[in-house]
Copies of this chain bind each other. A is one copy, B any other.
């Protein structure tokens, strides 16, 4: 008989977001007239830049004529987009990349989830705590994460707690770790790493033969000059780091689907016999087998982001969200709440008052202020006294939401 991959059965049935939706629904049923404001929303809400709209209309028209028709994309993506990425996101920061080091995809979640496939199932992994849950879940399915011991911690995962006490800077582990996930600016804490802090991680990886999987999906939100936008701004990173980028939060592409992964040719891992293998080669093989390229329409849309008008329009969107973040952070701080993040990221990480757990604070906000947030425990054990708010909503709703919270704190 066919057998299932039992590792997948270890994933708890109740996902955070399913649980959350259930609680909101039961509130709605008992309070049908309540006007709920969702400040926990993980998706963008602003229209995408007009240059992208125009470029995608044009790309669709290309599909009406055999002479301009575009079928399967080249596996790693079209050079028009790859060249724009290299020039604008990397060369402008002094980073040299070859075309074949960029892999265009349908979104960062896909690649950051699938990337583990090219690495052995028994590598050790290290994650910041709190963390975007998909990183761990994708390791559960191949057995790499071990077992879920107490409902929140996986036996083979090394957690690096990020707390107010360490300014949300993940502590370098005492032991060596094979693969480390870093996401900065961070989801959910909204905090960022300075160049000197990130350098410590690159040096650790160089010394310990560690692969860093670096998620830079929120780099467009960085406001301060000393925060690196790419891990390759750090010397030596091209030997140890893979970088995931996304247009989802940069240009509102969550419904368009386009992102990219950088796999420098110098990044290697080892066979059991000690032979070094380029991860670029392995990732290309994996993608050739299981991926058929990103949409031509989406790639043309993404290309437009890099035009002068595109950059201006993206900045306008980012500024909108960051103004929301400023308003939210100021308003909540005024109540005496401890509020972190929100300065280089669209996320605010808020300590629950009076030792409330994250679910208790969630309930309080929902029942007393009709505000939806995301309970921190969903992002890991260190999140149990926190909630996450995002600045992705409508400005007026953000303002009203914060005023409601002010009234109950």
Contacts and interface: CB of A to CB of B under 8 A. Distances in A.
A344 to B, nearest CB: 22
Interface in A1-25: 1-6, 8-9, 11, 15
Given A71-B254, A285-B11, A295-B298, A270 B4 contact: yes
A266 interface: no
Given A48-B64, A56-B60, A69-B46, A120 B298 contact: no
A106 B106 contact: yes
Contacts of A46: 66, 69
A271 interface: yes
B60 A60 contact: yes
Interface string A53-66: 10011001101111
A5 B116 CA distance: 9
A233 to B, nearest CB: 22
Contacts of A134: 289-290
A109 B289 CA distance: 8
A295 B6 contact: no
Given A2-B123, A295-B255, A141 B289 contact: yes
A199 interface: no
A3 B64 contact: no
B44 A66 contact: no
A118 interface: yes
A288 interface: yes
Contacts of A57: 57, 60
A29 interface: no
A370 interface: no
B288 A15 contact: yes
A179 interface: yes
A50 B60 CA distance: 10
A183 interface: no
A161 interface: no
B297 A56 contact: yes
A1 B269 contact: yes
A118 B263 CA distance: 27
B295 A257 contact: yes
Interface string A100-133: 0000001101100110011111110000000000
A286 interface: yes
Contact of A66 (B2, B64, B394): B394
A79 to B, nearest CB: 15
A297 B256 contact: yes
Contacts of A255: 63, 69-73, 295-297
A47 B63 contact: yes
Contact of A257 (B45, B122, B141, B292): B292
Interface in A269-284: 269-272, 277, 279, 282
22 contacts: A1-B208, A2-B119, A2-B270, A3-B178, A3-B271, A4-B119, A4-B271, A4-B277, A5-B117, A6-B271, A9-B277, A15-B288, A45-B69, A47-B63, A53-B64, A66-B394, A106-B295, A113-B289, A255-B295, A256-B297, A257-B295, A297-B298
Interface of A: 1-6, 8-9, 11, 15, 42-48, 50, 53, 56-57, 60-61, 63-66, 69-73, 106-107, 109-110, 113-114, 117-123, 134, 137-138, 140-142, 178-179, 208-211, 252, 254-257, 269-272, 277, 279, 282, 285-286, 288-298, 394
8 tightest A-B contacts by CB? A113-B290, A1-B209, A43-B71, A3-B120, A255-B296, A71-B254, A2-B178, A2-B269
